[in-house]
Structure 1
């Protein structure tokens, strides 16, 4: 199943430090937790204004991992310092994809919370995710991974599609 964490960050003067913490401490700590199979972060490149700026996508073995002692003890540090600067934060668990694919630095992650029609019309293979736990925000998602966007993709934002760029390579556990 897929575990997503999304948010925006309100303090530009602290954003680089926060991103360094999240990418260099939080993600490696999470991938060390038994049951976390993959972890990768993304930043919004283009999309609707209400979309969260940051997105972390994790493949997890099951929901119970988020309640485990291993997760509580090793899940990636303390957010107290950052909490006042984090907005539009939500976490959801999705079924429909067993292992989230790696998105390389030269690719883009396209996400629609409305339907997969715009992505399919451009010929993309679409991943369908249905929320099954936590905030369930949004309930359904359609995702595609793209290399170069075709010229006909100029309307994607108008169709409610957000384009995210990877903020580093996908981390994988030994059991992924």
Structure 2
């Protein structure tokens, strides 16, 4: 197997420049907080430097980074202190291009982690079901079922939010 990363320092910087925004968006969807998303993204690149894994190509590296990030987010969500934390007054609010986009983002963030992950990868990052399956290490049918259930939950919330 050819080593994709020849010089760890320069290649980590290049990887950061290429993937950091995408990874940050995924972490933000998982964690719902800019600060927590920044920390998870940073931790992912630290693991890249520490482990210095060999990649077949850029897609393999991208999938590895997403997998490490999602695991980091799951770990962060499972910590006891996070369950007891309180949101600070004046914390940085979510932003979006339009009120409709902001409302949809808030609905997606309210979904359980397993649904919002596949929804984000599929709709916001344009990954096909097969790639999501590889990244999350679940079957394609599980990805399809999570997409279906996530859409159903969003539909229920949207229908409930509309005035009659």
| TM-score range normalised by the length of the shorter chain | under 0.3
Q: Which has the higher contact order (CA 8 A, sep 6+)?
A: 1
Structure (1/2) with the larger strand percentage:
1
TM-score normalized with structure 1 length: 0.26
TM-score normalized with structure 2 length: 0.27
